[in-house]
């Protein structure tokens, strides 16, 4: 049964959460960008520092894939020529086999 006192009672106040402010979003994005920049610079520094040991080896071997042959749907053979030798590379689902061919690489 509704009494006049219960009918006139004020409603319960609703919970109100503050929306995320634009400044909070800007701060979050700025901090994220700053952290990404720090990580990027640290990785660049590390890669240059680690690359100093290989800087003494300036000679590069020229590799050329002379031929490739598919033996089965999952097996391929590659003939790779370097400056002074030939290498036969067999690629299978279980692994890769490298075989040096005897004798110098023929000139093209």
Please give the average pLDDT of every successive group of 10 residues along the chain, which has 108 residues.
Answer: 65 72 91 98 89 58 86 93 88 92 69
Question: What letter does residue 52 receive in the DSSP assignment?
Answer: G
* DSSP bridge partners of 1: none
In the prediction, which pLDDT does 72 show?
Answer: 92
In the prediction, which pLDDT does 68 show?
Answer: 92
Closest CA relative to residue 99, chosen from 91, 70, 107, 90: 90
pTM of the model: 0.42
In the prediction, which pLDDT does 32 show?
Answer: 98
Are 66 and 55 spatial neighbours (Cβ–Cβ below 8 Å)? Answer: no
Secondary structure (3-state) at 9: coil
* Lookup: tokens for 90: 């067999």
């Amino acid at each position: 049964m509704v009494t006049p006192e219960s009918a006139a009672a004020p409603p319960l106040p609703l919970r109100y959460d503050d929306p995320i402010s634009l400044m909070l979003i800007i701060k979050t994005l700025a901090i994220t960008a700053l952290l990404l920049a720090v990580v990027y610079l640290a990785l660049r520094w590390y890669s240059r520092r680690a690359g100093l040991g290989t800087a003494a080896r300036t000679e590069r071997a020229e590799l050329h894939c002379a031929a490739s042959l598919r033996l089965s749907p999952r097996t391929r053979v590659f003939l790779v020529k370097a400056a002074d030798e030939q290498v036969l590379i067999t690629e299978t689902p279980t692994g890769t086999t490298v075989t040096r061919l005897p004798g110098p690489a023929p000139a093209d």
